[in-house]
Amino acid sequence: MTESRPDGTEDPREPRRSRYFSTGQNSPAEPESPQDRPVSPQATPPWPPRVSRETSGRRVATASDVAAATAPSPFADEATPLAAAAEHTLLARSNARLRPPEPRPRSTRILVVANQKGGVGKTTSTVNVAAALAQLGQRVLVIDLDPQGNASTALSIEHRRGTPSTYDLLVDQAPLSEVVVTCPDIPLLDVVPATIDLAGAEIELVSVVARENRLHRALRGDPRIGDAESAGEDRYDYVFIDCPPSLGLLTLNALVAGEEMMIPIQAEYYALEGLGQLLATVDMVRAHLNPDLAVSTILITMYDARTRLASGVASEVRGHFGEQVIKTYIPRSVRVSEAPSYGQTVMTYDPGSPGALSYLEAAREIATRGVLA
Ligand SMILES: Nc1ncnc2c1ncn2[C@@H]1O[C@H](COP(=O)(O)OP(=O)(O)O)[C@@H](O)[C@H]1O
Ligand SMILES: [Mg+2]
């Protein structure tokens, strides 16, 4: 089958533009390819040629932008993906100031993003869904719980050794407010970064009593987590916890702290292998540590619409999880994989691209459906 570059390695058709390699400003056209379309099993409208390529630069919104943004949403019309791309580009630039926000959940929803397999899209989905919700006017917190700190990198957050981080939260029981920073590109998005110190936390916590409760206590002790009565208008609407690719003490802390799980599944062979172990762990946590934990959200990532394998995996996942599967599949896309090298999510790097629009649709679905399980 045809494999595009899953790890964001260089595309021979495109010049290098990473901030590490080049001083180029604007992104040239991404090559049109069928698998880059936003994919939904319900509707696959024809994808027209791309609109503006000048999405990596910043500019001030004009009066016509404001008029366009306050007009009825073209997202309601599946037949106008061009308008959707244009609207999201505008939305991303204006950081949700031009439109009223989506309705907020009544209390903070804490989603654990876990799958013990590496490379399935946990971090990519965490940062992009979180950024999309923030662009839709929600207050969002991302907790980077992977010592590799990939979510911190993608959100342009300092995570050198010694930076206040999740390590301090777990090991030294620092209050959340002391380790939180705001994402420079997205004002409604806060982040707790992870440093490499976190790699030692599992060992350091071995002899500690209630070591699996550390993150739960840190979150529940924060005045911005809760409902309107306890946490007020400034409360976080969503907390996303990006887990490492293992089922160790760090992931266990997340499963005890959260109420919902978002499991990204890569539309590839072996996708479902190992899921049994994850679900058995969830059952164990539910039985002994956190009865409220629910697998609410399954997100199919890196979907390649050209292959029968991808649609086969997707229907197998739907057969197993049913309604928990988000209807919008995330396509495999060069833009999604190259955004982190600019310290950005695809939601700001190329807001009109199919990957960004798919994450935006997925975020809307997550926001509107709530907990099903
Ligand atoms: N939709 C996508 N299209 C193309 N590449 C992707 C996509 N989603 C993730 N990737 C790439 O796949 C790799 C693994 O993704 P990542 O989110 O880091 O997985 P995990 O956190 O589960 O280990 C990364 O190089 C990322 O850029
Ligand atoms: Mg990761």
What does the DSSP assignment read for 275-331? HHHHHHHHHHHHHHT-TT-EEEEEEEESB-TT-HHHHHHHHHHHHHHGGGB-SSBPB
Q: Tell me, what's the pLDDT at 86?
A: 79
Single out the residue of 333, 215, 181, 205 nearest to residue 285, CA to CA.
Answer: 215
Q: Please give the average per-residue pLDDT across 81-86, as a whole number.
A: 78
Q: Please give the average per-residue pLDDT across 184-200, as a whole number.
A: 95
Q: Whose CA is nearest to atom 27 of ligand 1?
A: 337
d(CA 101, CA 229): 20
Angle CA 101–104–110, to nearest 5: 125
d(CA 112, CA 295): 9
d(CA 95, CA 247): 36
Angle CA 370–371–373, to nearest 5: 150
State the DSSP H helix or E strand holding residue 170, giving kind and residue range, or none if neither: helix 166-170
d(CA 225, CA 108): 6
pLDDT over 90 at 16, yes or no: no
d(CA 356, CA 339): 11
332 lines ligand 1 (CB under 6 A): yes
Q: Which of 124, 246, 303 for mutating ligand 1's site (highest number of atoms within 8 Å of CB)?
A: 124
Single out the residue of 258, 268, 346, 336 nearest to residue 297, CA to CA.
Answer: 258
Angle CA 75–346–236, to nearest 5: 75
Q: Give the percent of the chain with pLDDT over 90.
A: 66
- pLDDT tens digit string along 17-26? 333 223 233 3
335 lines ligand 1 (CB under 6 A): no
Q: Tell me, what's the pLDDT at 103?
A: 85
- pLDDT tens digit string along 229-279? 999 999 999 999 999 999 999 999 999 999 999 999 999 888 888 899 999
Q: Tell me, what's the pLDDT at 220?
A: 95
Q: Please give the average per-residue pLDDT across 319-335, as a whole number.
A: 95
333 lines ligand 1 (CB under 6 A): yes
CB-based contact 238:108 (threshold 8 Å): yes
pLDDT over 80 at 140, yes or no: yes
How many angstroms from the chain centroid is the CA of residue 280? 24
Flag the least confident range among 82-86, 262-266, 272-276, 291-295.
Answer: 82-86
